[in-house]
Amino acid sequence: MGDDQPTGFKARIKKYRESHKAFHWLLNVYEFLLSQWFFCLLGVFIALAYEFPNFARQGGLIKGEYTIGYGAVAIIFLISGLSMSTRDLMVNALHWRVHFTVLSLSFLITSSIIYGIALGIKAANDGEIDPWLLVGLIVTHACPTTVSSNVVMTRQAHGNVVLTLCEVFIGNVLGAFITPALVQMYLTGTWEFGNPLHQVLAAQDVQVSIGQLYKNVMKQIGLSVFVPLFVGQVIQNIFPKQTKWTLTTFRLNKVGSFMLLLIMFLSFSTAFYQNAFNDVSHVSIIFICFFNVGIYLFFTVLSFCYSRPRFLLAVFREPITESSSRLYRYSYKLFRPFYYNRKDTVSVMLCGPAKTAALGVSLISSQYGAHNPNLGILLVPLVLYQAEQVMTANFLTHLMKKWVLNGELEDQKLNQELLAAQTAGKITDEEATIGIEEEEQPHDQDTSSTRSRSNASISDDVPSKT
């Protein structure tokens, strides 16, 4: 056998595969299932949650609110702390513009759109759609962004993972206060029946439960997000080489995806145990399933347009120069950075539409009471939305990854053009340095506008030299 021929076990597999069509077909099926392991395991976990709901539910056999709600989330953020630099974390923590964008999307824009849609559905008087399901839809989209799936998906899409970590922490801490306030604001008038203050529980009991809610949220964010993130940062700064070897050798990013499956296992187990799906008609379930996918895609497109508003490129077409007016100079510095680069945009697209079930179940249960007869119906939109947002985002991350990588290739090509022009004497060293530095700006400059200015500089200089 020649040197270019496969040897040993691989050679036997190849020969057997070519001679047996059935084996070839089964091997193709196995390879496909292996590539789609996330969705296969998700189906397995949902089936287990249906058959054994008491196993992983909140307060169940393994105390899922601690073993999974704390443990699995902590592992995800420990891995994140091991894989990111402290400098990047500090830079992104101070990036107030993205914080404003994500928070306004997550709490105000998406919830107000859902409120308007729910009003329209309720006004249609469709008897198949339970009014309490619409209340659950409003409460779901008043919840903060998800704790864990954002980080996993942003890493898969090659987005700004560090920025996503900051958004998760800020959004969930503020969500403990903002979500109950939004629920009180929306559930008035025609929705008065769904207001938590008008449930069977006395108002005093509700207020006590909400106070306990704040305490539980801060405890969960601290123990499952802040502490493991801090420990990961300490370890990777003390043992950088060993940390890098561990992340690569054991493929810890895959571990994060598996932890995400466990979190969804917890949510479905809790919903099945509380007979959430038994209290809702099949028509309502089908409606919510299709609606969730559609609204998540719509919110993703909305997040993209919100994080890259084209009118900013038209208004601030020219960079700041000495001849620029003071108004233009200040306006440029204040508003132009709201047009984010591709990595930051991916972070916004994944954080803006997402809603947490890990904290969302606690937020709903604490406001309405754990023994509320309508609690199961209220949880249906949240639990289904979490599962569908993860499945939909898993497909979108492939497109986002290509978009980010294409942008990086374009930036590398432009840098090479700038260096070549500098070497040929077409532009000065200072102009080349400015062009490269603008391309490396993480937030304040857009690659497309920088590219047009740099290419214009190159082309304008060529005729004078020829």
pLDDT at 212: 66
- Direct distance between the N- and C-terminal alpha carbons of the chain, in angstroms, rounded to an integer: 60
Three-class DSSP category at 256 = helix
| Structure confidence by residue, pLDDT tens digits, 291-339 | 999 999 999 999 999 999 999 999 998 888 888 899 999 999 999 999 9
Distance CA 398, CA 402 (A): 6
The CA radius of gyration of the chain, in Å to the nearest whole number, is 26
Q: What is the largest CA-CA distance in the chain?
A: 85
pLDDT at 51: 94
Which domains can be identified in the chain, with CATH numbers? 36-309+316-398 (1.20.1530.20)
pTM score of the predicted model: 0.80
Distance CA 323, CA 226 (A): 47
Q: Cα angle at 282 between 281 and 288, to 5 degrees?
A: 95
Write out residues in the chain with pLDDT < 50, as ranges.
1-5, 201-208, 436-466
CB 107 within 8 A of CB 259: no
pLDDT at 432: 53
pLDDT at 84: 84
pLDDT at 211: 65
CB 373 within 8 A of CB 129: no
Amino acid identity of residue 369, one-letter, is G
